[in-house]
Amino acid sequence: MKEIKTLELQMTELKEAKEKLAKIEEKYDGSKMDVAEKARTIKALEKRIKELEKDLTLNKTLAKIKRIWWAKIGQSITDQWPSIQTIYEQLELINIAQFEVQRAKESLGNMPEEANRMIHFLNTHNKEQLAALSINSRIDTISTVKRVLTLKGFVQTLERKCQEMQIEINDFRMRFAALQSRGLPNLVNSSGNLLSHEQYANRVNNFGSNHITASSSTSEETGPPSGQHLYDKLENLFYIQHEINCLFDVQPNFYRYTEADESLIKIQRHQLPTQNWW
């Protein structure tokens, strides 16, 4: 309320100063005011008019509101940071998993097809027929062959869990890209690694300060701004803060991560039958 009353007084003073300046200029020719006195009076009025017009642009008030809103944006980021970290941990796991999946597939080659044919063979021949082929234990042989199919199952499970995590990651990236297009700084460093929370908070603070300074120094409007003008100046900050709060429909967790990590460990530890055994 205090700022509104101050604004109203400034607008009244500006109106009165302009009217006084107009009257001086209109009546000068018929007055006894000397040139020097007129010049001083006009110069003082023009200076005061410029000061009032500058104040009425609400630059100081806008800068204050922007500082408050950038602080709110920083707090929203802090609130979402654990979820952002979860997303990047999932991304790191996916990168490792993709390497291990490719390595496992290369090791498997066409073994799964051969394994299925061998299991079919073992289950369709009797004990004497198998003994003639030096196969003394059907069960032990099938168990060894099934290591191939077990590894294939681990690979499929890991790929499925990674795909589920990737959906969450892609959704997050799309939403954050929209925020970046509105001016929010990038989350990662030059190497593509997630910044620490402190580093990113500093990046946002610096960006916000620079944004406020640049906006104040480039403002050329004079006179009281309209409501639409104020909205246009602040709408982007409202959008950024709101969308940060809506980055995740459901907060990401480590359930899929843990399941994928378990499959990854199983793949890394799994032993296939040797080539000599085949």
For residue range 83-130, what is the model confidence (pLDDT) as tens digits?
999 999 999 999 999 999 999 999 999 999 999 999 999 999 999 998
User: Is residue 144's pLDDT more than 90?
Assistant: yes
The confidence score (pLDDT) of residue 211 equals: 82
The confidence score (pLDDT) of residue 274 equals: 79
- Residue 180 or residue 274, greater confidence: 180
**By C-alpha distance, which of 5, 197, 10, 185 is closest to 85?**
197
User: Is residue 29's pLDDT more than 70?
Assistant: no
Indicate the SS3 state at residue 194.
strand
Percent of the chain with pLDDT over 70: 73
* 204 touches 74 (CB < 8 A): yes
- Residue 62 or residue 216, greater confidence: 62
Query: pLDDT grade, residue 65 (50/70/90)?
Result: confident
Residue 188's DSSP bridge partners are 194
Distance between the two ends of the chain, CA-based, in angstroms?
A: 87
Q: Which residue has the tokens 């205090």?
A: 2
CA–CA dist 255, 125 (Å, integer): 44
Lowest mean pLDDT among 16-20, 172-176, 210-214: 16-20
User: Is residue 231's pLDDT more than 80?
Assistant: no
Residues 173-177, mean pLDDT to the nearest whole number: 96
